[in-house]
Structure 1
């Protein structure tokens, strides 16, 4: 009887440890070659300027069991790319981003509203141009697969949202009637850390 009790206790301990291992949060590092923050902004109400930011880094922590997680992304604002060199240069200068003084933008948030084990939004804060404001991003697509080369889990998502750039002190063009709303669209891929 004592042997059975000891065996059952050991079995329960192994099962508990195994479940705890699977329930632990996992950390993923953003792949900057497959992460693409892009934006769309009004130009005098007659067209939209579109651009992207080429340099970024970040981490995602995901706990599927607890339905929680976090996101932290840093973007190098000097990597702005409108596809027009003069506009890129202007955006880096003192009249807009002033990348000499504010070289980075940072977004930190919490994954939320899990549906079928997948987060559908990020509730967070954007730190841009020395100003911090709340920003919620909707996650339209979220999927994880085994990476075919690295044999670790690779997760991808497509997130979107918008913000008022004047609230961050980026109000160039406002006097000419520009709409201050900036639409964001961010595709991201992240590889699970070893």
Structure 2
């Protein structure tokens, strides 16, 4: 066998393998019209449950299905908080709670993604809310990718959930009055492949 030919062939294969590895990860941009982080919070110590959502979200998700890794980087416009009740919106956006004038955004950045088979099942990351950063784990309850008929490219969607204590983030309004500070977070997200 020709030694020069063997070395050149090996080098070419190695280069192709490196290229394949470098481009194995796919990046998706959040589709803002189909992505709404929402939450449930106690009102009056169990009298009722208030549900709100944020109507403006941006960011990106990277997935490497072969290596079973990825990343999540999300920015939420806190001023778009909507309970469906104008007076409640005004109060929640004020200094008693979210204080959006001082803290206009909330962010979520992943530290790691756990896969179950070929799909992501859990994200360990950090939520920054009200100027405080704490670890929050997202459970991915549903995940699917399709060739989107309108956008003409791959789209992935997920339903994710988490639970956290709002007082840990400095949003402790009415906790001393008996309000339960536990918040249930639900995120419907769709993202388009770049």
Q: TM > 0.5 between the two?
A: yes
Between the aligned partners of 2:173 and 2:21, the Cα distance in structure 1 is 52
Compute the displacement of 1:96 (Å): 1.1
Q: Considering only aligned residues, what root-mean-square deviation do their CA atoms show, in Å?
A: 2.2
- Name the TM-score, length of structure 1 as normaliser: 0.90
Change in Cα spacing, 1:70 to 1:14, as seen in structure 2 (3 Å) is closer
Could you say which residue in structure 1 is the equivalent of 2:85?
84
Greater displacement, 108-117 / 164-173: 108-117
Which stretches in structure 2 are left out of the alignment for 5+ residues?
A: none
Could you say which residue in structure 1 is the equivalent of 2:69?
68
Q: Which runs of 4+ in 1 moved over 2 A?
A: 8-21, 110-113
Compute the displacement of 1:9 (Å): 2.4
Change in Cα spacing, 1:114 to 1:178, as seen in structure 2 (3 Å) is same
Matched, 1:146 2:147: yes
Alignment of 1:1-194 (within 5 A): 2=2, 9=9, 12=13, 16=17, 19-20=20-21, 24-44=24-44, 45-193=46-194
Matched residue pairs, number? 192
Compute the displacement of 1:143 (Å): 0.9
- Name the TM-score, length of structure 2 as normaliser: 0.90
Compute the displacement of 1:149 (Å): 2.8
- 1:146–1:152 contact (8 Å) kept in structure 2: yes
Tell me the SS of whatever aligns to 2:87: helix
Compute the displacement of 1:15 (Å): 6.1
